[in-house]
Amino acid sequence: MRKKPGAPMRKRLRLGDGYAGRAALEQRRICIPNLVETGDYYIDSPANQGMDALVYYVVPLIAKGKVNGVLEIFRRSKDKAEAEWLDFLDTLAGQSSIAIDNSRLFTGLQLSHSDLLRAYDTTIEGWSRALDLRDKETEGHSLRVTEMTVRLAGLAGLSDEELVHVRYGALLHDIGKMGVPNAVLLKPGKLTEEEWEIMKKHTTYAFELLSPITYLRRALDIPYRHHEKWDGSGYPRGLKGEQLPLVARLFAVVDVWDALSSDRPYRHAWSRENIEAYIREQSGKHFDPKAVDILLNMLNETA
């Protein structure tokens, strides 16, 4: 099937094979002014099919000392201004080679970036699972709240780029508990006032752990601020209302929803009706009223 005029045409060949292969191997331009005289009138190239070309040029596409291919030109007649034409051809080949090299470099960077993101995801999910394993009481909690928070943040209008950091922050929301002693973290009964002060430090520990890691700085709002409350009675800084980052407000209501939905050694999971009633009662106190509305609407639509 013949290519349409102007459509890109490609052919694979070995170095040294034919004029094109020689041009690539020797890294020089080859010009054949009369294909009939050389006996190569039907030169084997897709670009020559049906053209009845007389003049043939092939130029290696070289960038940074590497041959990226060759550019073949077939013409029915020789240009009177041959020197100018050849200068133009060399310039065209040089620019084409640079464009090909840049395209390959960009593709390689994209692949490297994708591999790096997958490595980040795998590492962060591993940290999250390790935290859940340490605290058997909340096993599976991190993945559940992460999925729900990302959905909620999407409904709240956050961009895809922002959702990546929401996901990281939700997965690592309790990373600071690594700094809490087992005697406090795993205590089966009620914490004393002194123990509770130790427990509350996990948000500050999260900030200290994650802030030096550049790619996780935009994910800090959830691990550092998810225990702040809409009315200002939370910790660690007692922020109030819209002083709280939106993602922290969204996560706070999801975190409590999931906690009350799960069995714990000291209580059974609450019913959906009781959880919803509690969430509504805490709207404007613990929770941002808008975050409550978005969550309940989302859950009711999927019920």
User: Which residues are catalytic, by number?
Assistant: 177
Tokens 């390959």 found at: 104
122/139 Cα distance (integer angstroms): 18
Distance CA 209, CA 212 (A): 7
- Is residue 303 within 8 A of residue 276, CB to CB? The reply is no
Nearest to 127 by CA among 162, 184, 176: 176
Residues with Cβ within 8 Å of residue 185, at least 6 apart in sequence: 134, 135, 177, 199
Angstrom distance (rounded) from CA 155 to CA 249: 14
Instruction: Judge whether 223 and 175 are in contact, CB under 8 Å.
Output: yes
Which residues are CB-neighbours of 95 under 8 A, at least 6 positions away? none
CA 254 from chain centre, in angstroms, equals 24
**Which three-class secondary structure state does DSSP give residue 57?**
strand
Looking from the CA of 268 toward its CB, the CA atoms found within 13 Å total 4
HSE, side-chain direction, 13 A CA sphere, residue 230: 20
CA 212 remoteness from chain centre? 21
